[in-house]
Structure 1
Amino acid sequence: MSGNGPLIPEQRHQELLRLLRGSGVLSIRELTARLNVSHMTVRRDIAALEESGQVVSVQGGVRLADWTGNAPPRERATRAALEVPRKQVIAQAAAGLVEDGTVVYLDAGTTCQEVVPLLAARTNLTVVTNDFHAALALMALPSVHTIHTGGEADADSGSSSGPLAARTIEDLNIDLAFLSTGTWDLSHGVTSHSSEKVLLKRAVMASAASVALLADSTKWGGVERFTVTRLDALDTVVTDSGLPAEIIDSIAEQGPKVLRAE
């Protein structure tokens, strides 16, 4: 914002829209701080933009009306059929980060599972995962030593999490961790609906020398109740070309290297 005095309503509206284009979703509190105005003023601005069809109010905040980012279904079979081309190009880019003779963590999820067949060419690789589907697929690769975390099983996601799984991770030295998510944005980072999953993901980050988030553009802009990590704690973000350039730039400004798979 300019330091030349308060903005008129039209200028605030344009600034508010610019901020939303960079974040997808913003809270009322965040907007009052960024625009340096009162809660009442922000709410009036949102009401005006909502009336013109440019934004939509959400609980505690606002999002762009034409933004498609949302949390995917949590049931595994449904998610597996969604956005397959995006997942495949992300997996190709992620696999390029894997070096022979290293310990790699694959988080639960259909995007991370797409990485599995691409590891067949690696040698002396150890892959740790909490995903039952990925573990079964990894065991078919003779060049890969597979470790499953154990822990409390979740039938919907086909994975495990919780303190037992986290304890397994604490005994491992991971070179590269691939994290998955159903929701991420600029303000809240990576979020999850499950505190058990948060516990495991944070244990993985603490044990890993490098952390890469694999997340397609359709998941941008959604927020769940628990924060896993801010984006500035990630080393790499691997996504697809569906995110606008200004959002990619905003992510990179927070610190992680962004690989935008075409």
Structure 2
Amino acid sequence: MSRAPLIPEQRHQELLRLLRSSGVLSIHELTDRLNVSHMTVRRDIAALEKSGQVVSVQGGVRLAEWVGHAPPRERASRAVLELPRKQAIAETAARLVQDGMVVFLDAGTTCQSVVPFLAARTDLTVVTNDFHAVLALCGLPNVHAIHTGGEVDVSSGSSSGPLAAKAVGALNIDIGFLSAGSWDLAHGVTSHSTDKVLLKQAVMEAASSVALLADSTKWGIVERFNVTSLDRLDTVVTDDGLPPEVVDRIAEEGPSVLRA
């Protein structure tokens, strides 16, 4: 029995998957592998090129040089990746924090990197589901630290799930900093874990303002579960690795874009 035809979004993801394996593919190869017409392949390439994920070459297409790859999920492996980007993003994000605020720091090494930049603030309450971040916060006497508790994920050094989401729901958060291992224009922020989705969405409900901290190496990656579209974010803090046309398209969705 023949396979049902893919919808455009499924074809786009399959096209990107094929390019990640091969680097460059011709139009002819893509029509064979996707089982569609030349015109359909060209339309798909045009859509992906508009979002900055691929680049047309003579007779074919390749991945844009900066398109991201899914980072490792183990904390120790992620901690040593893209340190200059993380530090720059963290320093820029910390400028959004004012004295007296209640701040949420999501799990992850980028959000943890914000902690040292909060040392000059006074009367802060910082809420986090990250065990490494809460230990770092213990060294800041001007910060009242709250850990959400919840289901422990040893590999990421954090917790999430319904118990963590309930703790967040009991708080009035001024600004919530969300992390992301995968984000793009079509899907927004996505995650491999429903527990993490639940917590991130609880933060969005509890926070007056939501800022996504995500570097350009994670752009163009899609995980199984949707967290939020980009138009529900107030701010995106990223690095200078995204092309200007991609930054413009993110801003068109609604959030302010700060490039570290």
Q: What letter is aligned with 2:250?
A: I
Shift of 1:16: 4.1
Deviation track 1:112-158 (CA, whole Å, cap 9, x = no partner) reads 01100110100000000000000000011000000000000001000
User: What percent identity do the matched residue pairs reach?
Assistant: 68
Aligned with 2:242: secondary structure?
A: coil
Shift of 1:70: 1.8
Query: 1:12–1:68: structure 2 CA closer, same or farther, 3 Å change rule?
Result: closer
- Residue equivalent to 1:91: 90
Question: Do 1:22 and 1:186's aligned partners in 2 also have CA atoms closer than 8 Å?
Answer: no
- Residue equivalent to 2:173: 174
Q: Determine if the alignment matches structure 1 residue 23 to structure 2 residue 30.
A: no
| Unaligned residue ranges in structure 1 (runs of 5+) | 1-8, 27-48, 56-63
Out of 57, 61, 66, the residue aligned to residue 54 of structure 1 is: 61
- Residue equivalent to 1:205: 204
Question: Do 2:52 and 2:64's aligned partners in 1 also have CA atoms closer than 8 Å?
Answer: no
- Residue equivalent to 2:126: 127
Q: What letter is aligned with 1:125?
A: L
Aligned with 2:197: secondary structure?
A: helix
- Residue equivalent to 2:240: 241
Q: What letter is aligned with 1:23?
A: S
Once superposed, what is the RMSD of the aligned Cα atoms?
2.3
Q: What letter is aligned with 1:177?
A: G
Residues of 2 paired with 1:105 and 1:121: CA distance? 17
Q: How does 1:67-78 map to 2 (within 5 A)?
A: 68-78=67-77
Question: Do 1:103 and 1:128's aligned partners in 2 also have CA atoms closer than 8 Å?
Answer: yes
Deviation track 1:42-65 (CA, whole Å, cap 9, x = no partner) reads xxxxxxx7994514xxxxxxxx36
Aligned with 1:54: secondary structure?
A: strand
Residues of 1 paired with 2:82 and 2:230: CA distance? 23
- Residue equivalent to 1:117: 116
Aligned with 2:144: secondary structure?
A: strand
TM-score (norm 1): 0.80
- Residue equivalent to 1:156: 155
Shift of 1:81: 0.3
- Residue equivalent to 2:21: none
TM-score (norm 2): 0.81
Residues of 2 paired with 1:254 and 1:115: CA distance? 25
Shift of 1:228: 0.3
| Unaligned residue ranges in structure 2 (runs of 5+) | 1-37
